Structure 1
Amino acid sequence: MQRFFIYIILSIAVFLLFGWYFSNITLYLVISLILAALLRPLTNHLNDFHLLGQHIPRWSAILLSYSAIVLLMVLLSFLFFPLINNQILILSELDLNGIYEQVQLPVSRVEGFLLRHELLEAQPGHLFGNLKASMIEMIKGFDFTSFIGGVINTTSSLFIGTMAIAFISFFLLLENGLLRRNLLNLIPNPYFELSVATFTKVEKLLSNYLSGLLLQMLAIFSLASFGLTIMGVEYALTIALFAAVANLIPYAGPLLGAMFGIIVGVSSGTFETNTELNYLIIKILSVFGLVQITDNIFLQPMIFSKSVKAHPLEIFVVIFAGAKIAGVIGMIFAIPVYTIFRVFILEFYKGYKSYRIFQIK
């Protein structure tokens, strides 16, 4: 028995070391496993569908599933095109002299306050002149070549990552259940029953978690879009979609969604007085406040606590541990990874207490 537990501990240690050293490959594999789990029901239904008396080949069903994902992404991207086009028009019509005049008044007031209290030794207008000169110098010093190079590198990395994930997911879907069977083949016969029960429970919990996460995103999108539309905020659907996706990042996601909503609302609107601007910000914050309260009281306890079957304090600690290890990506994948290890440890502990195979003779 001790040899078996040493084997388990060494396997986990090797897995963690491999995951840390080959972080990119591990990330691709984890995303591929999640994508395959999401697409498997659709792929199986398409594969079972009869066309001219024949089943649709599995590889064709997988490609059709991929096509459905691409079509969904294209349709969702149409929500952002009007916003991007509007921001480009605003930037193209930007009046720098008008901006300077708007900035000059508050800067002059601050400068006057500092001069009156002898906190600044300079001629009037010196502070604004330095600010204007710094802005011009920053614009002139912008390295366009490095910016283009960074965009190209980022685009190539995203393309390589997307192709790798699509390739891995394709074979995970094509060889349905092959990975699980190969892993179970490595388990010694005395521990086979316990291992099958553990794998089944892990798959069920992760499936419940992913399904709940999709329902949570749909609920947040519906609530935010409905509230923003009632409040008369422009690009309500775009803001709601961004908020629903950003909510994948625990704790920080709602703040990002609210900030994005305020930025879009302020940049796309016209305000004659500061009162109108403040009123818009209050409307956006009130909508996101209600959405967040609903999410915290009804959605998150149902998804994170019940589907993962963990205490909310555990979830809190695990999420911040994931953020410490891998930043935003770690926060997103912290709960699924924690669920896997938690179930494995609990199931093998139960096996140690209950199964005869672990009893010392």
Structure 2
Amino acid sequence: MDKVQKTLLYPLVALVVGAYFLFTGLVDARGFLAPLVTAIILALLLIPLGNLMERKLNRLFASLLSTILLLLFSLGIFALLSFQVKNFVDDWGKIKETMKPKIEQLQNYAYEHTALSSEDLEKYKEENDVQSILTSSGNSGEKAFNFINSVTSFISNYLLTFIYIFFLLNYRKRFKIFILKLFSKERKQEVKRTINQTAQVAQFYLRGKLILIIILSILYSIGLGISGVNNFILIAVIASFLTLIPFVGNIIGMGLALIFGYLTQGETSILIGVILTFTLVQFVESYVLEPFIVGDKVDIHPFFVILAIILGNMVWGIMGMILAIPVLGILNVVFNHAPALKPFGYLLSTDEDGDED
């Protein structure tokens, strides 16, 4: 092996091994890092509100009030969703009766156009029933424990996130000074600009997304309500929040609307209404709302947006998919301000000024 091959091989192996241990560590530390990263992003969003309150209040009370307002807002969203879910559960018997003819039509179509027979389906049902009985009878206590553990973990992480937000807001000046002390005096101004720009990226993106979600919830509710979809507010709110997951969220939202709209009621007019609603609203979102409300503040190439979403899902699930874009936007700002990392900043961004023939 010549010298050039060794020079390329060693950094490549180090990069692969380092990436493996990095992502393995992120997965293992999910319980600690996911609430903390979420709190950092949300704290950056609340900084302008905190600065506004500090004109009349001291930082402690301003940070506490900002955190409480965000907590109340999130509880309001949960209450709205819970109310709509309750209505859906109450109507479940009626929904099953409505879906029964549709399921029978699908079965008859499968019998006529595929090699599947009714005997195969009955055999599958019997095997599935036996398996469910075996699994449910022996592990009911374990399932109950796992459910309680999951609920407890969610509530603790939920509350812990807001505790993090309060401390991050209250001690943000101390954290900023700490970062500045890590660099020489000659670079402090550049570091200050980097810190301010990273905060602006997160604030602009999340604030724009929040406004977009509210507008989309209203538009989806109007369209689905006119179409005659039951529980249209629940579907509209869920579909709007799913837009936090780029590309994939809109598809999932439309799928939910079709399932809870057409399949549960079985009317062709509802099917047409759902398709028209999502087509028109997503057109307005892509070409009117997104450019003007969110804009291109998070300057990330679509290819790396997709990669970030996939990696975020692999590392932290749905929360990782939601956090992927703002985190990548912040990293891109850091890359563009660090001379040694500027090539990575150019690679991630959509800027073509650095292209060479």
TM score, norm. by length of structure 2: 0.74
Aligned residues: 321
Partner of 1:240: 236
> Which protein is bigger by CA-based radius of gyration?
1
Aligned residue among 328, 332, 340 for 2:322: 332
Identify which range, 148-157 or 77-86, moves more after superposition: 77-86
Aligned residue among 28, 32, 35 for 2:39: 32
Aligned residue among 144, 149, 152 for 1:148: 144
Question: 2:220–2:277: 8 Å Cα contact kept in structure 1?
Answer: yes
CA distance in 1, matches of 2:112, 2:197: 69
CA distance in 2, matches of 1:309, 1:95: 46
Change in Cα spacing, 1:94 to 1:37, as seen in structure 2 (3 Å) is: closer
Aligned AA (1:79): L
Aligned AA (1:225): S
Partner of 1:75: 76
Q: Structure 2: which 5+ residue stretches go unaligned?
A: 1-17, 343-357
Q: Structure 1: which 5+ residue stretches go unaligned?
A: 1-12, 50-54, 353-361
Aligned AA (1:292): Q
Is 1:309 paired with 2:310?
A: no
Partner of 1:52: none
Aligned AA (1:34): I
CA distance in 2, matches of 1:105, 1:204: 54
Change in Cα spacing, 1:179 to 1:107, as seen in structure 2 (3 Å) is: same
Percent identity (aligned): 24
Question: 2:227–2:269: 8 Å Cα contact kept in structure 1?
Answer: no
Aligned AA (2:43): A
Partner of 2:66: 65
Question: 2:305–2:325: 8 Å Cα contact kept in structure 1?
Answer: yes
Identify which range, 69-78 or 288-297, moves more after superposition: 69-78
Aligned AA (2:152): S
Partner of 1:295: 285
Which residues of 2 match residues 57-206 of structure 1 at below 5 A?
57-91=58-92, 107=107, 126-127=119-120, 129-134=122-127, 136-143=129-136, 144-206=140-202
CA distance in 1, matches of 2:109, 2:222: 42
Question: 1:33–1:169: 8 Å Cα contact kept in structure 2?
Answer: yes
Aligned residue among 249, 252, 259 for 2:255: 259
Shift of 1:281: 2.0
CA distance in 2, matches of 1:58, 1:335: 29
Shift of 1:205: 2.1
TM score, norm. by length of structure 1: 0.73
Change in Cα spacing, 1:112 to 1:200, as seen in structure 2 (3 Å) is: closer
Q: CA RMSD in A?
A: 3.8
Greater RCO between the two (CA within 8 Å, min separation 6)? Answer: 2
CA distance in 2, matches of 1:113, 1:127: 15
Question: 1:104–1:128: 8 Å Cα contact kept in structure 2?
Answer: no
